[in-house]
């Protein structure tokens, strides 16, 4: 059973990380949700004990009760994971409304162009020019 | 016991109420300031009580100790709680004085403070995670609440990177629970001493990555500069002055108190990563002209010192880590709050922060760095002393560079457009209060150093070898 859990967590975590590294932000969020679920599964599997239902009062000599704590922890972790996923999706909506793209490549290209425009208005470069030195013109927007 | 639970109750009730109100109205902002100020007051009194009488404990609802939610405030937690809430009060004061443009800002800041106050006060590893996420989710929402696409992009990166860190932390907690069979910090620390080395080091690494990400240490720093440079000054002050404390506190609590053997084992690695962080932050900061970016890279550099102090270890090293964290949080909050203010006294307020970052007396920053030197000399780690000296010299260069650049040059040659008119009284008051604290701690450093020593003692006692 431990092996099954370990393998499942490994596969889910790996798939999550793979998605995290994609350029499409929706995939990134999906990847994060997978990583969150891998963490929840790890929590579950940290208390994998077979036993009776853990209801008080425990009657002495019967077989030991299973661990109820991990269930509570996992429930909390699921709620937190759900909240963060919702928040990230909301962020994507905001980004999409502003930029009409959810692709990281598009977004960073636009940002680089904006940075290049700022660079072009660089006061320091003017100072170099005043001194009569050559200045490499920054490449502005393709 | 009202002192332990009081701040959480006040902030929780206030946060819920504020969430329903429109934060752009001044009255709502004032309400938020009042709530955080009350929490800060309670935490300051609690700090005094803890330093005098030792740790304060409370098990919520009168449940048995291992069933109920357990709050346990020792000197370390009390210092960080009072520090963080105090900085949030000042930042919120400035935000409200400037005029809040997003309706959710006051509520989010109150929830963020609630998360911070809770995680510094809890005695349970999993509650720590819950409060930690509460503070972080409020922070993600705070960064996204306003602004241009670039800011939302920075917020997205911040959220993704930190969430991965959080889930690694959660996995670390699961491993710790599996290995020790308990979540109660004191019992965990006891049981962790008996763990196999391979298990313990795995857990320690997952915690280190989580808190390193939160602090913005060198290999985990890439989310930080854009975020600090694009957020509004009060929000940046909250991030650098209050939220980053999670990382320092987490490393001290989980490294210093719960896994001290692994901390000692990785001392060299910590000093190396810390040194790289210091060098990287300082060199990048010198190369930037935009004040906020310089401050962001300076934050990366300065958290490296905390790591070096942890690496030096021992009560002196831990005390230095605490004292430096406190001074650093105040410095960064002060600089972010004052860097874009203009008008009477603002240059003086900014200068206090500049001197403190450079480590010039009479400021808190001087004693933070002096504590580090002390730890380095006592550990006879001359390498570290040399590093501290070079790092200090570099920070001297970049802070005076921004001072000169911002205050001594004509407006049109500055990188960032600064407001034409004079800043309002409230805006200056907020920064001025922090500057005053930095100066007072510089002239009368006894509380700072005593708090560091007591906090270090609390850590050593918690791991049971003191």
Is residue A142 predicted with pLDDT exceeding 50? no
Phi, psi of B216 (to 5 degrees): 80, 40
CA of A36 vs chain B CAs: smallest distance (Å) = 6
What is the per-residue pLDDT for B328? 93
Round to whole Å and give the CA distance between B214 and B201.
20
What is the per-residue pLDDT for B261? 85
Phi, psi of B277 (to 5 degrees): -60, -45
Round to whole Å and give the CA distance between B149 and A113.
13
Determine whether the interchain pair A73/B140 forms a contact, defined as Cβ–Cβ distance below 8 Å.
no
CB B287 within 8 A of CB B321: no
pTM of the model: 0.89
What is the per-residue pLDDT for B65? 64
CA of B283 vs chain A CAs: smallest distance (Å) = 19
- CATH number at A43 reads 1.10.287.3510
In a domain, A135, yes or no: yes
In the numeric block, the tokens 């901390």 are attached to B263
Instruction: With a cut of 50, list the residues of chain B below it in pLDDT.
Output: 465-466
Tell me the angle at which helices B149-180 and A104-120 cross, rounded to the nearest 10 degrees.
Answer: 130
Is residue A120 predicted with pLDDT exceeding 70? no
> Which among B152, B155, B183 is the nearest to A98, CB-wise?
B152
A123: chain B residues, CB-CB within 8 Å: 412-413, 415
Round to whole Å and give the CA distance between B156 and A45.
31
Dihedral sign (CA B207, B198, B179, B252): negative
Dig out the tokens for B97 from the structure. 């004085």
In a domain, A60, yes or no: no
Is residue A141 predicted with pLDDT exceeding 80? no
Q: CB atoms < 10 A from the CB of B385, how many? A: 17
Tell me the angle at which helices B364-378 and B291-312 cross, rounded to the nearest 10 degrees.
Answer: 30
- Say if residue A71 is in the same domain as residue A91: yes
User: Is the link from the previous residue into B52 a cis peptide, with omega within 30 of 0?
Assistant: no
CB B70 within 8 A of CB B59: yes
What is the per-residue pLDDT for B325? 93
Round to whole Å and give the CA distance between A127 and A138.
15
Tell me which DSSP letter residue B73 carries: E
CA of A1 vs chain B CAs: smallest distance (Å) = 15
Strand extents, DSSP E, B36-138: 56-59, 70-73
Nearest chain A residue to B179 by CA: give it: A46
- Say if residue A4 is in the same domain as residue A47: yes
Which residues on adjacent β-strands are paired with residue B72? B57
Round to whole Å and give the CA distance between B290 and B288.
6
CB B386 within 8 A of CB B373: no
- Say if residue A32 is in the same domain as residue A43: yes
Domain count of the fold of chain A: 2
Round to whole Å and give the CA distance between A40 and A23.
26
Q: CB atoms < 10 A from the CB of A140, how many? A: 10
A39: chain B residues, CB-CB within 8 Å: 167-168, 170-171, 174
- Say if residue A40 is in the same domain as residue A87: yes
Q: Where are the domains of chain B?
A: 2-462
Report long-range pairs for B402-410 (Cβ below 8 Å, ≥24 apart): B402/B291, B402/B294, B402/B295, B402/B339, B402/B354, B403/B350, B403/B351, B403/B354, B405/B289, B405/B291, B406/B291, B406/B339, B406/B350, B407/B347, B407/B350
> Would you call A47 helix, strand, or coil by DSSP?
coil
Contacts of B438 (CB under 8 A, 6+ apart): B327, B330, B331, B334, B352, B353, B356, B363, B364, B365
- Say if residue A112 is in the same domain as residue A128: yes
- Say if residue A87 is in the same domain as residue A120: no
Which residues on adjacent β-strands are paired with residue A103? A24
> Which among A45, A70, A94 is the nearest to B144, CB-wise?
A94
CA of A99 vs chain B CAs: smallest distance (Å) = 7
Q: CB atoms < 10 A from the CB of B301, how many? A: 26
Judged by CB atoms within 8 Å, which residues 48-107 of A form the interface with B? Answer: 69-70, 73, 76-77, 80, 83-84, 87-88, 90-92, 94-95, 98-99, 107
Round to whole Å and give the CA distance between B293 and B225.
6
- Say if residue A95 is in the same domain as residue A110: no
CB B111 within 8 A of CB B61: no
What is the per-residue pLDDT for A11? 96
DSSP string, B389-418: HHHHHHHHHHHHHHHHHHHSS-GGG-SSPP
> Which among A45, A69, A95 is the nearest to B152, CB-wise?
A95
- The ipTM is 0.85
Structural domain harbouring A74? 1-51+67-102
CB A85 within 8 A of CB A32: yes
Terminal Cα-to-Cα distance of chain A (whole angstroms): 56
What is the per-residue pLDDT for A62? 65
Dig out the tokens for B60 from the structure. 């919520």
Render pLDDT for A2-49 as a digit per residue (tens, 0 to 9).
899 999 999 999 999 999 998 888 999 999 999 999 999 999 888 877
The closest alpha carbon to B384, from B448, B309, B437, B442, belongs to B309
> Which among B152, B412, B413 is the nearest to A94, CB-wise?
B152
Tell me which DSSP letter residue B147 carries: -
CB B219 within 8 A of CB B203: no
Determine whether the interchain pair A73/B175 forms a contact, defined as Cβ–Cβ distance below 8 Å.
no
Half-sphere exposure of B354 (CA within 13 A, CB side): 22
Mean of the per-residue pLDDT values for chain B? 87
Question: Measuring CA to CA, how many Å separate B148 from each of A84, A104, B62, B178?
Answer: 21, 16, 49, 45
Task: Report which secondary-structure segment, H or E, holds B83.
Answer: helix B75-98
- Say if residue A114 is in the same domain as residue A95: no
Q: CB atoms < 10 A from the CB of B226, how many? A: 19
- Say if residue A93 is in the same domain as residue A116: no
- Say if residue A45 is in the same domain as residue A115: no
């Amino acid at each position: 059973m431990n092996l099954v859990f370990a393998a499942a967590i490994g596969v889910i975590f790996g798939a999550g990380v793979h998605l995290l590294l994609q350029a499409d932000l929706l995939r990134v969020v999906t990847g994060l949700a997978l990583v969150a679920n891998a963490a929840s599964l790890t929590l579950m599997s940290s208390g994998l004990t077979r036993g009776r239902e853990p209801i008080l009062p425990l009657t002495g000599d019967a077989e030991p009760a299973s661990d109820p704590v991990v269930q509570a922890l996992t429930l909390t972790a699921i709620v937190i994971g759900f909240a963060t996923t919702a928040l990230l999706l909301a962020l994507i909506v905001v980004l999409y409304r502003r930029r009409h793209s959810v692709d990281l490549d598009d977004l960073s290209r636009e940002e680089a162009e904006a940075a290049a425009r700022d660079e072009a208005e660089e006061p320091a470069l003017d100072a170099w020019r005043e001194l009569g030195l050559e200045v490499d013109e920054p490449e502005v927007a393709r | 016991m009202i002192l332990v639970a009081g701040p959480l109750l006040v902030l929780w009730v206030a946060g819920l109420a504020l969430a329903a109100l429109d934060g752009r109205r001044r009255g709502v902002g004032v309400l938020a300031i009042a709530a955080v100020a009350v929490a800060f007051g309670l935490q300051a009194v609690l700090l005094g009580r803890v330093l005098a009488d030792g740790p304060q404990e409370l098990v919520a609802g009168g449940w048995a100790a291992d069933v109920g939610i357990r709050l346990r405030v020792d000197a370390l937690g009390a210092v960080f709680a009072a520090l963080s809430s105090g900085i949030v009060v000042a930042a919120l004061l400035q935000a409200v004085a400037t005029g809040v443009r997003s309706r959710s800002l006051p509520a989010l800041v109150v929830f963020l403070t609630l998360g911070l106050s809770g995680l510094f006060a809890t005695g349970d590893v999993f509650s720590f995670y819950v409060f930690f996420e509460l503070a972080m989710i409020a922070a993600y929402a705070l960064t996204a609440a306003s602004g241009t696409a670039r800011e939302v992009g920075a917020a997205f990166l911040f959220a993704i990177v930190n969430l991965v860190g959080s889930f690694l932390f959660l996995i670390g907690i699961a491993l710790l629970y599996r290995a020790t069979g308990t979540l109660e910090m004191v019992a965990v620390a006891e049981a962790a001493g008996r763990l196999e080395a391979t298990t313990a080091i795995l857990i320690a690494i997952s915690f280190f990555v989580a808190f390193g990400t939160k602090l913005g240490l060198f290999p985990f720093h890439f989310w930080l500069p854009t975020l600090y440079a694009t957020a509004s000054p009060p929000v940046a002050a909250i991030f650098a002055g209050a939220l980053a404390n999670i990382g320092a506190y987490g490393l001290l609590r989980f490294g210093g108190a719960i896994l001290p053997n692994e901390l000692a084992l990785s001392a060299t690695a910590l000093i190396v990563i810390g040194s790289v962080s210091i060098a990287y932050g300082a060199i990048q900061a010198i190369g930037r002209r935009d004040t906020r970016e310089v401050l962001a890279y300076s934050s990366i550099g300065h958290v490296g010192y905390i790591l070096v102090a942890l690496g030096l270890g021992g009560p002196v090293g831990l005390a230095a880590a605490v004292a430096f964290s406190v001074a650093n949080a105040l410095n960064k909050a002060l600089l972010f709050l004052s860097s874009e203010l203009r008008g009477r006294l603002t240059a003086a307020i900014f200068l206090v922060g500049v001197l403190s970052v450079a480590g010039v007396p009479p400021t808190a920053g001087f004693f933070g760095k002096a504590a580090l030197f002390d730890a380095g000399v006592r550990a006879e780690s001359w390498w570290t002393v040399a590093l501290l000296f070079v790092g200090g010299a570099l920070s001297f260069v970049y802070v005076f560079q921004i001072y000169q650049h911002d205050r001594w040059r004509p407006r049109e040659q500055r990188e960032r457009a600064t407001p034409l008119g004079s800043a309002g009284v409230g805006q200056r008051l907020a920064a001025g209060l922090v500057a005053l604290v930095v100066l007072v701690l510089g002239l009368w450093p006894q509380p700072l150093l005593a708090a560091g020593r007591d906090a270090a003692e609390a850590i050593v006692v918690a791991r049971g070898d003191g």
